[in-house]
Structure 1
């Protein structure tokens, strides 16, 4: 069996990782943020890149550092807690939100422009069935993911994105939009929060183990080699994502006058591309969106199926993939607008837990009592993150305005940092320490 990878294989692995990340949210959120930020686009983009590129990269590196996925990273917690965190993460990023969103964005941006009056709930249902049927077909053989996604679909996607990015840079189609109120005071913080919506930090928690499984299927069984290849693939993917986001922010930041009062990034990109490329614009956009969302859908479905098969071996990988694909097709029928309304408060609430877990993984050896550190920091992150999530859902939490950074949607940050400091200083032995099995 092959123990090393050629440069072409390694580049394909990096492209595959990039394609897994580049999905629905990565296309619709950056241009809208650039549009709303106006002249403050630069600050907003920096914040967005921190959470949408930096955190996923750090998460993949944390998985490589820990030598495993979510269950390995949470092994300092009681087993049922770690398993519960993993299950919740895979459900959220899988059939509940992220994977159905890829199908909905594909429908809204790559299908609706061509079907006109045929647009209906019935057509959406039929499309969802076909889209997730194709996803299932491509997900059933993990050993061929590198060839199908990394060496075939992604190069085509990269070419289309390069055409769009270069065109946006050399031929902007509008002026600088006015700054929206949300981006007046703290544009970088607003960009940070918008980066949550890509869900890529959660995606990284899933894709890390999927990439390792792909490496195993290619004959790379040495753990140190797996870690090195995963790190290289992560850097390639992060570089690709950063370039795409910069181009899309530039698109939004030069879209003043292109479309009056766009409701979302999908509308904005569609109008911009149509003006940029003329009649061929819809075809170019359909190709970009369709490929980007499909590759992400395949990656998420494969990662979820692999996790649940590993967790419950009595169910085969194929059975898990079929169930996930069916659930995604069902959830997709709620529509894009409703799915986004539901998902954003959930993401705001639980993103701090993912960030804290990554930090704890890198800092684990620094703690005198690792079990106490993990429990304390993650509990604090979840508690204060939940407050941010409840506020994002539209509930009146003005009574909590005394909390530092609460008005900025970052109430979790300082308490979580304080919990980390307390954990570093904690020197009391635990009576029943949690140990790795």
Structure 2
């Protein structure tokens, strides 16, 4: 009975891990993009949400599962090439971690939910420093004990975050906003594809490649050691977190869609939520929103610091996990106060370039029961996807190379921002052909050798 108990999670522990995974995903971007999207989409909100759910819910959940099944991101990326595995994994952890995700998690809640309500006599620089000092100190302390994350986040932080969001949504039913308006800003024509691309902005598909190892370790910390059961439990936790994300996104999009008739089109999702909470709750709405933003960003920040520290520890035995937590916390504190704009200008194009690669790596991992880890399929698919996505991302930041840009401009779905999709499919097809030829040659050689031996 003891061995059995160690190889299974109780329903309570599984729910706590599912809530923990939800909170790792749900940061500031997840909070502000759905209402802003709903505000512009109006009557097309639910069509837009279908596309949004694919990249903001489906692929993040599949990413966690893919990493769990592969035994880590590095093992998954090695199916392409060992050099690619090192470069891609480091880029993923740097860009989503200290290069963008962690500093942004500290500065965004202050800029969006605190700064607008401070008196003019207060120095914004000093206030930002004090806020981020407390924020990253708490994140540092909570990240020091990853084995306790399930209890701390699943039992305390996540329920508190969900309660605050539900209070906000419930208030909109008590004091209704308005009806859905006509779609604008491109949502009226390419509703589904706009939603699909909007899901990129959450960055959760890339984050999932980081968080997969955190969830696997959280499950193992509860005594589960069998790898197959770790994968099965990761799938259950992922589905649970994904379902919760979809429900919250739908609620927030509804808030945005019903707010436009009263407030018009906002500059960003934070303004949308500010208008809504102020209308429903008055001045206390600002406090409610500040708490929601802070909790959402804090949980994501803890997940990123934890996963990045765990990965960087594997690169060098000289620096311990605890030291990496300290390094990342201090660096992110400084970046959030001094150099975030410059870091964003470098990191965002990198994210745009690697997002399609991350999506296809997850797709290949989920279909590996067919592909059997074929270097041809993995290599060609990621190569063609990467070339097109890099060219496209360079063009988006004004670094166009006319010949190359003109070449990808003729690809299907170029205008919709999905020019990489056709090359990705081509890579799979070519890889399958080469795999088939190789398998046939091996089979022929074996038959020939068998005949010779006879």
TM-score by length of 2: 0.88
Distance 2:130 2:291 in 1: 20
Q: Tell me the residue number matched to 2:322.
A: 318
Residue number in structure 2 paired with 1:6 = 10
Instruction: Give the conservation status (yes or no) of the 8 Å contact 2:96–2:206.
Output: yes
Distance 1:159 1:206 in 2: 27
1:81 aligned partner:
84
The counterpart of 2:431, out of the listed 411, 420, 423, is 423
Unaligned runs of 5+ in 1: 431-437
Distance, in Å, in 2 between the alignment partners of 1:213 and 1:286 is 31
Residues 31, 248 of structure 1: 8 Å contact kept: yes
Q: 2: distance between equivalents of 1:356 and 1:100?
A: 27
Residue range with higher mean Cα deviation, 96-105 or 405-414: 96-105
Describe the SS at the equivalent of 2:202. Answer: coil
Contact 1:177 1:255 in 2 (8 A): no
Equivalent in the alignment of 2:450:
none
Residues 196 and 347 of structure 1 are in contact (CA less than 8 Å); yes or no, is this contact kept in structure 2? no
User: Match of 1:284, SS?
Assistant: helix
- Encode CA deviations 1:238-295: one digit per residue, 9 max, x unaligned: 0110011001111111111443442111111111111012222112212211111111
Quick check: 1:57–1:235 contact (8 Å CA) kept in 2? yes
Counterpart contact for 1:47–1:190, Cα < 8 Å = yes
Indicate the structure (1 or 2) with the bigger Cα radius of gyration. 2
2:106 equivalent to 1:103: yes
1:295 aligns with 2:299: yes
Query: 1:147-166 CA distances to partner (integer Å, 9 max, x unpaired)?
Result: 11111111111111222233
For 2:239, the equivalent position in structure 1 comes to 235
State the alpha-carbon separation in 1 of the partners of residues 345 and 189 from structure 2: 24
Q: Which runs of structure 2 are paired with 1:247-286 in the superposition (5 Å)?
A: 247-286=251-290
1:121 to 113, 125, 132: 125
1:375 matched to 2:383? The reply is no
Task: State whether structure 2 residue 56 is matched by structure 1 residue 52.
Answer: yes
Contact 2:79 2:375 in 1 (8 A): yes
- Post-superposition offset of 1:51: 0.5
Asked whether the 8 Å contact 2:38–2:256 carries over to 1, the reply is: yes
**Distance change (3 Å), C-alpha of 1:339 and 1:81:** closer
- Report matched runs for 1:342-421 at 5 Å: 343-367=347-371, 370-394=374-398, 399=406, 400-421=408-429
Distance apart, 1:189 and its partner CA: 0.6
Question: In structure 1, what is the Cα distance between the partners aligned to 2:30 and 2:344?
Answer: 14
What is the alpha-carbon distance in structure 2 between the residues aligned to residue 111 and residue 76 of structure 1?
A: 46
The CA deviation at 1:125 is 2.8
Distance 1:339 1:184, change over 3 A: farther
User: CA-to-partner distance for each residue in 1:115-141, whole Å, 9 max, x for gaps?
Assistant: 232252232233223211211111001
SS in 1 for 2:381: helix
Equivalents in 1 of 2:253, 2:344: separation in Å? 20
The change in CA–CA distance for 1:420 and 1:169 in structure 2 (over 3 A counts) is farther
Partner of 1:150: 154
SS of equivalent to 2:333: helix
Name the SS for the 1:355 alignment partner. Answer: helix
Per the alignment, in what secondary structure is the counterpart of residue 315 of structure 1?
coil
CA contact (8 A) 2:79 2:373 kept: no
Kept in 1: contact 2:73–2:209 (CA 8 A): yes
Provide the rounded CA distance (Å) in 2 between the counterparts of 1:83 and 1:170.
53
Q: Name the residue aligned to 2:447.
A: none
Give me the whole-angstrom Cα distance separating, in 2, the residues matched to 1:194 and 1:167: 27
Partner of 1:181: 185
2:42 aligns with 38
SS at match of 1:181: coil
- Find the aligned partners of 2:79 and 2:382 in 1 and give their Cα distance: 11
**Number of corresponding residues:** 430
How many Å separate the matches in 1 of 2:32 and 2:318?
Answer: 39
CA distance in 1, matches of 2:256, 2:123: 27
Contact 2:115 2:124 in 1 (8 A): no
Whole-Å Cα distance in 2 between the matches of residues 267 and 411 of structure 1?
32
Q: 1:309 — aligned with what?
A: 313
Gaps of 5+ in 2: 440-454
Asked whether the 8 Å contact 1:112–1:119 carries over to 2, the reply is no
Whole-Å separation in 2 of the counterparts to 1:414 and 1:347? 20
Task: Give me the whole-angstrom Cα distance separating, in 1, the residues matched to 2:216 and 2:330.
Answer: 26
Alignment partners' CA distance in 1, 2:337 and 2:109? 13
CA deviations 1:145-195 (Å, max 9, x no partner) are: 111111111111111122223333564424434432322321111111110
- Mapped to 1, the partners of 2:343 and 2:239 lie a distance apart of 31
8 Å CA contact 2:40–2:265 kept in 1: the answer is no
Matches within 5 A, 1:153-168: 153-168=157-172
The residue number in structure 2 matching 1:16 is 20
Note closer, same or farther for the CA distance 1:368–1:217 as it changes in structure 2 (3 Å cut). Answer: closer
Q: 2:60 touches 2:205 (CA, 8 Å); kept in 1?
A: yes
